Amino acid sequence: MKRIGFQLQVKQDRIDEYKEHHRNVWPDMLDALRRHGWRNYSLFMREDGLMLGYFEADESLEASLAGMETEEINAKWQEMMIPYFEALDGRPDESFVELEEVFHTD
C-alpha cells in the first residue's frame, strides 16, 4: 500500500457546484475507484479552491490511474469535471500534482 497526496486548483466561482457533485458521486464511479485500489480516498479544499486529495493505493498513483483509464465511467466523470479546474493540461486525473510524503505516524 502506498499513501498518495495530490493537489489541484478548483475555480473559485465553481466551488459550490464542485462540492455538490462530490456529495453525489455516481455509484458506478465509486465502484470503479474501489476496483482499482483507491482506498481511504479523501478530498480537502481551502476557501480559494486549492484542493488536496489523499488516498491509499494498492501499488502506486500510476497503477491506480492506469486502472481507472480502463473504466468508461471515469472518462465521463473526468470530462464533466474539466470546467471546474484551473490550468489543466488535459483531464483532471491527468493533471494531478503528486505531493511528496514527508511525515507519517500511525
- How does pLDDT run across 32-56, given as a tens digit for each residue? 999 999 999 999 999 999 999 999 9
Determine contact, residues 3/59, Cβ cutoff 8 Å.
no
Please list the active-site residues: 22
**What is the rounded radius of gyration, in angstroms, for the C-alpha atoms of the chain?**
13
Question: Which phi and psi angles does 54 have, rounded to 5°?
Answer: -145, 135
β-sheet with 2-9: strand ranges across: 39-45, 50-57, 2-9, 97-99
CATH number of 2-96: 3.30.70.100
Q: Which three cell numbers stand for residue 50?
A: 486549492
Q: Give the type of residue at 72.
A: E
Global confidence as pTM = 0.90
